Structure 1
Amino acid sequence: MPTVLTFEHPLNERARTFLRLEHLFERFDHFAPQPEDWATRAALETLIEIVAITARADVRNELLKELDRTLEGLRRIASRPGVDPSALQRVVNDLERAHAAVLGTDGPIGQIAREDGFLKAVAQRNSIPGGSCSFDLPQLHHWLLQPPEQRQQRLAQWLVDLRPAHQAIALILSLVRASAPARQILAEGGFYQEALETQAPPQLVRIGIEANSGLYPEVSGHKNRFSIRFMAIESEDHPAQTSDDIPFRLTCCIF
């Protein structure tokens, strides 16, 4: 069975923010447990990016709105034929726990890390190329030389008020991704376009294409439609849309 590569593209700002935070939390969790100081540095830089996103977007309220909307939708379908009551209740319980955890966060999400003087200094220098060298930030250099357990404990402390958001985002995105079956589609001449339902537009499109095709999708979309162009890398600098008819799997995720 051929290997299929999956690409995702958000169709609204809320989904875009959630996907970016999911990506950053996964990167943080990859580097944070590693004992090397370079891994700790990578985790710290990732944390600074998470804090920057949560400072720009009202993630707490966006999460609460999405959790409320999802819970309301699930309760509406509870009495429909074919719905497994026990499976539905498990999902509802997970959503209610996530809602309570986010609601119970004191202050804005990420406030602990955002108000930390050490992290502020690192973030300020980090915006300069090479600005976090040891001679620029001797305090950071000293901290990175501490035992791994000490560094990991500090990283965990900075994440205390971010973890409920991480868990809620993971739950919401898992439900969104499982909300619809994949369809087999043919992109004629490497291009496909689809109109969106105005009453219930999808939040996310997922595109599956065989790994050996040598192609990747470029997606553009707005409130009325989205389009997909399958690009071939003819040279490292100049990808171009393929003229071939391309079979692929498309999932329009809406929950």
Structure 2
Amino acid sequence: MTHSSIIFEYPLNEKMRNWLRVEYLLQQLVASKNAHSPEACLLFLRTLTELLDIFERNELRADLLKELERQQSKLQQWLIVPDIDTQAVHCLIDELSAHGQKMNTVPKFGSTFKEDRFIGQIRQRLSIPGGYCNFDTPTLHLWQHLPIEKRQAQLDHWYAGLEPLHLSLQTLLHLIRQSGRFNELQAHQGFFQNAAEDKNLLRILLSSDDEIYPQVSGHKARFSIRFFPLENDDRVPEILPFQLACC
């Protein structure tokens, strides 16, 4: 992948859709875990409330545990392949097993935050546009004026409860992404379609210099991609080269 390339991803089932959203929010959580910046702290709290909404609607832990077991079974089959690096495979199996054991010991995702009075108050106000002004949330205003060390310790504590989820999800999504190779393809008049039997994820590699983006529709059996220019007055080339990985 060159510096001018960009990867677009599209989930082919609801489970992958949720995982990608959680991954994105966890990445934001880590990036905003900085008590020195009031803006970063606010982003952390907003992101945390979005994660809690997802946790309440989905059985993330059960799905992740099933996938950890499934990936371990797949790796066990790799051990009989000739010339395979068995040490690397065993290390990966051990890593997945450790994630599974850790996930089994932590409470249901989001459950500990329900008992946090401060998070509960903030969560109610963050759903309202501008609802986190200091006159709406005096507790937040006070918290933002606590010593930096105390705020940082609190941010670290909140994230620590989600770290097993983050590490497990990182490993699983990495394996899923690595399961599909990029192939050179062409879209004709901005359109491409194909089959993707029993796949979870599409990854589309384009040159960012072209300022073209894909819109995907499909499910686990078949999908179609339409390409559009970023600017309305631009056009997509009649034959557009791109790369596609079905994972």
TM-score, normalization by structure 2: 0.94
Contact 2:35-2:151 within 8 A present in 1 as well: no
SS in 2 for 1:38: helix
Q: 1:242 aligns with which of 209, 218, 236?
A: 236
Is the alpha carbon distance of 1:155 and 1:192 closer, same or farther for their aligned partners in structure 2, counting shifts above 3 Å?
Answer: same
Counterpart residue number, 1:202? 199
Q: Which amino acid aligns with 1:24?
A: L
Indicate the residue corresponding to 1:219 in structure 2: 216
1:111–1:161 Cα contact (<8 Å) kept? no
The alpha-carbon deviation at position 77 of structure 1 amounts to 2.3
What do the CA deviations read for 1:1-46 (whole angstroms, capped 9, x no partner)? 6621111111111111111111111111111125111211111111
Return 5+ residue gaps in structure 2 as ranges: none
Determine the structure 2 residue equivalent to 1:91.
92
> What is the number of equivalent residue pairs in this alignment?
246
Relative distance call for 1:117 and 1:92 in structure 2 (3 A) is same
Q: Which amino acid aligns with 2:207?
A: E
Q: Which residue of 2 aligns with 1:166?
A: 166
Q: How does 1:96-245 map to 2 (within 5 A)?
A: 96-106=97-107, 108-197=108-197, 201-235=198-232, 242=236, 244-245=238-239
Distance 1:240 1:57, change over 3 A: farther
Task: Specify the SS of the correspondent of 1:248.
Answer: strand
The aligned counterpart of 1:37 is 38
Q: Counterpart amino acid of 2:192?
A: Y
Percentage of identical aligned residues: 36
Give me the whole-angstrom Cα distance separating, in 2, the residues matched to 1:55 and 1:27: 19
**Aligned 8 A contact 1:110 1:159 in 2:** no
Contact 2:199–2:220 at 8 Å: present in 1 too?
no
Judging changes above 3 Å, is the alpha-carbon distance between structure 1 residues 2 and 45 closer, same or farther for their aligned structure 2 residues?
Answer: closer
Structure 1 residues 143-200: Cα deviation after superposition (integer angstroms, max 9, x where no partner): 0111222112112222333211111000001111111211000011111111122xxx
**1:127 deviation in Å?**
0.9
Give me the CA root mean square deviation: 1.6
Q: Are the counterparts in 2 of residues 78 and 88 from structure 1 also a CA contact under 8 Å? A: yes
Structure 1 residue runs without a partner (length 5+)? none
| C-alpha contact (below 8 Å) 1:101/1:164 kept by paired residues | yes
Distance (whole Å) between structure 2 residues aligned to residue 5 and residue 96 of structure 1: 33
Q: Which runs of 4+ in 1 moved over 6 A?
A: none
Cα deviation digits, residues 199-255 of structure 1 (max 9, x gap): xx11111000111112011111113201111111333xxx888362110010111xx
